[in-house]
Structure 1
């Protein structure tokens, strides 16, 4: 941009840089004068905030031309930099810009006629309650015809009341927007003015195949201008003509074949990468499922193995070594524990019986040389065991203990003059008969033994008289 927008200075600078057409926006004042203004208010490009601050947001068409002609339209361009890469103005250009006023449409038409340049403009509808709300097109056509400009220099863009324009000014070049090809053909329109962002996404080839001339707006970058050039676009609207006019050929960053090769290569790599990601996640999920399955099997096996080891350990903990007193020879077998009556068992229902039976302890223990006295009732007949029978009695439960560890023998070391209180745990299967014994204190070097009274392998059972 070389001058304030929509001022005579900007049009003059455009012609100096080789523009073949001039673009503007038109509003109509309240007293029916067409003038050039881009915005619908005067706040940005005029000094109305200094002259009439309360009216800075009022619609431009609600002012009369007498007031509009007094506003300055160029000081903002000097005070504020419109483009970040805009070159600084010379002092002469700054002075000229500060003196720019709002031009009328007739001023632009006169200049275009003199320079033989095309004129294209957006005609904005007046706001409600404007006197030209419905007849603004006819008013503008009348002003154009009164300027005596050649009709073919006018690119008529407004679709409102187009039939009247064609009838009143048949020499105007009718320009459409991004209409369908059928509508353009029906209205006999051979040119369109579109935003470049919309065109490249909406069938550029179709319009070119229908021989539609295309003008793109707003193109300010060299690469975009090169793209339009390569796409065989007929013209562009720009604010950066001083840069684009220096381009005498499109900027090719790569040849079309190289571009296609890179495009296919990148697409292929992207596809492989995406497939690899999906495959990796699929493989990872399957691996986790297999690990969980194998872990569950391993846990089950370890539990079973630990259970078997626990059972084997319980069986191995059963002592089968005969007490030292039993190994003495000669010895006689006497009942150690009296059999309790069944009534005492019924007081403790359940598969396990626990009994702690403390007994009074004699102050003087019996001498060691005295024989063992029977703790069984007098009616119980006690028979003598031979050493061979004793061996059978002691060794026979080994197989039973290995197969089902239900017998535990406690061999506490007793000392003289110390009371012995034993807590005996006897498993009570439903199919076997259990007995609970009371443990009497014995002198030193004597043994307290519990035995299952129903062991069939040893043939040991108390007999009644």
Structure 2
């Protein structure tokens, strides 16, 4: 999933795939959608599996599920291997995202932990109830056997295995702000000015890249400077083109398909100017950006007539609008007539245009001494070299890939008064990170979106962040403690009413207003005829005088037991006490008859049936 997010940020990914395959498709969006579906699918399987295990149902995974999971694991392993081997620096994007999203990730993660604490507390409470239940029901023999089996140790181990990782993760989240550095957590007075924009190949979302239309659109959008790429034709004409062939942005496959893969510097300008450089832009299946807005009919017509511009065309726009100009200069291939002197040709063309020299940000490092001699007014821009090397070459501007911002935010270069330009920044969160890091300018494809930001995203003062941190930690701790306390007591309350060792009823009263000692629901063995002195679980004491709360039965004499049968209506005087004789001598023997009758009349018919007693009808005859 992280890999697909990285591909989504790297907007050149589908362009690279197009150059390799010849098919234009938003591959990063496709991979991201596929990864999202797979994550949702596996998450659903995990949830269903957890619920089945909770109900103690054995799991049987269907073959289709096994195949899909293996495909996903194999594909994920392959993609991660590719990125680790060829694109290691892409992992820096994850680190940059954490720097900007850390103030939000921590509260959201704690909220998730609070939600997860409910099923965890229920599970731990259920295990505790099982421990108590087993401990109160075992006999001395079972105690010795369970001691050998360590059943209680295993139950406690399950509680620790479930609860300890949860609380360790929770503690790490509570202390997470201590180890997080976010440049957007600072006082408002310390925030630097908003970075200015260099239009990357013009405005590629509003017009075909590296065309006159794109640069004019960039000027309308308020670009601070213009960025482009320069090749030199075989007949010494500098022109604007980014790729190393003409397939993607021109119609060369229609005009001269056999030379579609030929290096663009090997063509003459007379042929290059005949190619169309804008029809590809208006095709729906060739949209260069997924989040592009709609294009008006007038812009479609204008774009379809665009051609490859010369460098002089761009210099006229920059000179007229007083815009800064920065460019990459690509060296020609072997056997080109300007193989070693292409820099001097480009310098000559720039000087001939009479543009103000301070508007040129000179980026190429080749033959820089000649450039300094011929055009001393150019502002020289370097790469990410050491501060000492930049000082030797008298360079005070660097052009850096935004991923290098991960390394201490380039603070050393800012301390040395070196201006920094980042490329290519298209996401608001990334632009906010550059803003908070006091970056001077960014190269972007999306000036309209980034220019709408009036302040950095997720920007807050240290005091506010400290308040959010402490408030989230305290409130979540209170909620989690309350949830565990509630679930713990809930399971204990569910256990004691049903599994209490006492079989007596403390709250019942007989017809004389005295406390009744009979159980509400007798043990199931009372229904046996005759009663069998099976020990109760747990066993009840035989000393009634010492323990008056106890109650047990003894075997009644066989000759005293009489089967219960319906009687005639004229024999209504027979009492139920003639059926069962209570032979246990006790301190309340003189009141046993009235107590027993009171209890029998209060029981329901189905409860008496469990005792093996068929009650007489209060009035009338048996049906």
TM over 0.5: yes
The alpha-carbon distance between structure 1 residues 217 and 265, as it changes in their structure 2 partners (threshold 3 A), is farther
SS of alignment partner, residue 50 of structure 1 = helix
What residue is the counterpart of 1:122 in the other structure?
328
Cα distance change of structure 1 residues 215 and 103 upon mapping to structure 2, 3 Å threshold: same
Query: Does the 8 Å CA contact 2:409/2:437 hold for their aligned counterparts?
Result: no
Question: What per-residue deviation string (whole Å, max 9, x for no partner) do you get for residues 238-279 of structure 1?
Answer: 00011111122222255445557889999xxxxxxxxxxxxx
Q: Which has the higher helix share?
A: 2
Alignment of structure 1 residues 149-188 onto 2, 5 Å: 149-188=355-394
Structure 1 position 83 matched with structure 2 position 289: yes
Pairs within 5 Å for 1:352-391? none
CA contact (8 A) 2:208 2:214 kept: yes
Tell me the SS of whatever aligns to 1:49.
Answer: helix
Equivalent runs, 1:440-455 vs 2, <5 Å: none
Runs of 4+ aligned structure 1 residues displaced above 2 Å come to 199-203, 252-266
Name the CA distance, whole Å, in 2 between partners of 1:213 and 1:59: 35
Structure 2: distance between partners of 1:265 and 1:31: 70
Q: 1:83-110: per-residue Cα shift (whole Å, max 9, x none)? A: 1111010001111110110000000001
User: SS at the partner of 1:25?
Assistant: strand
CA pair 151-253 structure 1, distance change in 2 beyond 3 A: closer
Partner of 1:245: 451
Cross-structure match for 1:15: 219
Q: Distance in 2 between matches of 1:11 and 1:132?
A: 27
Distance in 2 separating the partners of 1:242 and 1:117: 17
Q: CA contact under 8 A between 2:237 and 2:269: conserved in structure 1? A: yes
Does 1:31 find its partner at 2:247? Answer: no
Change beyond 3 A, Cα 1:144–1:249:
same
Task: Kindly report the root-mean-square deviation, in angstroms, between the aligned alpha carbons of the 2 structures.
Answer: 2.0
- Whichever structure has more strand as a proportion of its residues is 1
In structure 2, distance between residues paired with 1:259 and 1:57: 55
The separation in 2 between residues aligned to 1:135 and 1:233, in whole angstroms, is 34
Q: Deviations over 1:6-63 (max 9, x none)?
A: 0011101111011010000000000010000010110100000000111111001000
1:70 pairs with one of 263, 271, 274: 274
Alignment match, 2:418? 212
Query: How many angstroms does 1:175 deviate by?
Result: 0.4
CA 262–103 in structure 1, closer or farther in 2 if over 3 Å, else same: same
**Cα 1:209–1:54, aligned 2, differ >3 Å: closer, same or farther?**
same
| Structure 1 residues 243 and 159: alpha-carbon distance in aligned structure 2, compared to 1, 3 A threshold | same
TM-score by length of 2: 0.42
Q: Deviations over 1:191-245 (max 9, x none)?
A: 0011010233266111001000000011111111111111111000100011111
- 1:92 corresponds in structure 2 to 298
Partner deviation per Cα, 1:160-186 (whole Å, 9 max, x = no partner) = 000000000000000001011000000
Distance 1:244 1:203, change over 3 A: closer
SS of residue matched to 2:239: strand
Give the aligned partner of residue 43 of structure 1: 247
Q: Secondary structure at the match of 1:112?
A: helix
User: How far apart, CA to CA, are the structure 1 residues paired with 2:242 and 2:466?
Assistant: 42
Aligned residue pairs total 267
> Secondary structure of the equivalent of 1:24?
strand
CA offsets per residue over residues 400-444 of structure 1, 9 Å max, x none? xxxxxxxxxxxxxxxxxxxxxxxxxxxxxxxxxxxxxxxxxxxxx
Partner residue, 1:449: none
Distance 2:470 2:231 in 1: 51
Give 3-state SS (helix, strand or coil) of 1:102's partner: coil
| Compared CA separation, residues 24 and 264, structure 1 to 2 (3 A) | farther
- 3-state DSSP class of the match of 1:119? strand
**Structure 1: gaps spanning 5 or more residues:** 267-465
Cα distance change, pair 256–34 in 1 and its aligned pair in 2 (3 A) = farther
Q: Deviations over 1:331-354 (max 9, x none)?
A: xxxxxxxxxxxxxxxxxxxxxxxx
Match of 1:143 in 2: 349
Q: Distance in 1 between matches of 2:462 and 2:314?
A: 43
What is the match of residue 286 of structure 1? none
